[in-house]
Amino acid sequence: MHQKKMRLILSVVSLLAAGLLISCNKRDPTPENRDPLFLELDARRRQTDQDLAAARAAYEEAQSKLLDVAPQTGQIKYAQKRIADTEERITKLEQLLKYYEIKYESQRWRAREAYLLAEFDNKPWPNQQEREDFLESLRAESSPHTWSVSDRRASLGLPNGHTVNKAPKIESHSESGEH
C-alpha cells in the first residue's frame, strides 16, 4: 500500500513537473528576426547594396566608353559627365549603405532589449506604435527637402498666392447720396 501511494505521488509530481516545463516560455535567441523595423532596415540595406553594385558596373561601362570615344567630336564631354555623375552616385550610395548598416546593427540591439523588456513586463512585442513612428521617419527622410510655398498652400486647399484678390468695393458717400 505504501508503495502504491509513493508511485501515485511520484507520477503526480512528474506530471506536474512535465507540465511546468512544457508551459514555460523559451526566450527567442534572435528576436530581431520578428521585428518589422529590423526587417525593413535589412531590406533597404540589401537594396542599397544591389544599387551600389549596379552603379559600380555602370561606372566601369562609362570608363570603357570613354576610351572608345572619337577625339574632337564633343562626345568626350558627355562621357566625362557620365563618369562624374556615376562617381557621385556611387559616393551617395556608399554613404547610404553605411547609414543603413549602422541603423541595422543598432536596431538589432534595440530589438533585443525591447523584446526582453516586453517579456519581463508581459507586454506584447513588437510595438505597433514604434513601427508606425519608424515608417513615418523613413518617409520624412526620403521626402524632398525643399520648401515651396505654393505646394504647401495647395496641400492646404488655399489659392497659390500668385493671384491678386480684388478688394471689395467700398461705397463712398457720394455714390450712396449721403453727405
Q: Does this model's pTM top 0.75?
A: no
**pLDDT-based confidence at 100, cuts 50/70/90?**
very high
CA 117, 121, 123: angle at the middle one, nearest 5? 90
pLDDT tens across 11-67, in order? 766 766 555 555 556 777 888 888 888 899 999 999 999 999 999 999 999 999 988
Domain boundaries along the sequence of the chain: 31-139
Range of lowest pLDDT (26-30, 53-57, 88-92, 93-97): 26-30
**pLDDT-based confidence at 174, cuts 50/70/90?**
low
pLDDT tens across 119-149, in order? 888 888 888 888 888 888 888 887 777 777 7
Q: Buried (b) or exposed (e) across 92-123, using 16+ Cβ within 10 A?
A: ebeebbeebeebbeebbebbbebbeeeeeeee
Q: Which residue bears the cell 570613354?
A: 66
Q: Inform me whether the pLDDT recorded for 69 exceeds 70.
A: yes
